[in-house]
Amino acid sequence: MTAPFRALKSLRGKLVLSALAVVLLPIVTLCADIYVRAGNLLVAQAGASYAAQANTIINKIDRNLFERYGDVEAFAFHPNATGDAAAIATAAASTAAPTSSTTC
């Protein structure tokens, strides 16, 4: 037999090995638990951050679409927006930017 295995046959070797097992097993278990919990916490924090950013973006898009809806509503109820296509085209041409040569 080699020397390391001979040490395990003695009482001293068995006591040292059992003491190491009693001390190291809870430490390894605790470290593994902390590692898993920290990973879960990071995932939860990242998810909360993404959710907040998504809500901000959704609110901006919603406000923008609401403004465009108001614009369309205003155009639809404008008195010049009624009639056939030719009447609408002439009304649009008459309300286009003026072509007068006024200078400041």
For 58-88, how does the pLDDT look when each residue is reduced to its tens digit (9 = 90+)?
A: 999 999 988 888 888 877 777 766 777 787 7
Task: Render the burial of 46-75: b for 16+ CB within 10 Å, e for the rest.
Answer: eeeeeeeeeeeeeeeeeeeeeeeeeeeeee
Q: Half-sphere exposure (CA, 13 Å, Cβ side) for 34? A: 6
Q: Are 61 and 69 in contact (CB under 8 A)?
A: no
Residue with tokens 């898009």: 61
SS3 for 102?
Answer: coil
Q: What pLDDT does 89 receive?
A: 79
Lowest mean pLDDT among 1-5, 36-40, 66-70, 72-76: 1-5
Q: Across all residues in the chain, what is the average pLDDT?
A: 83
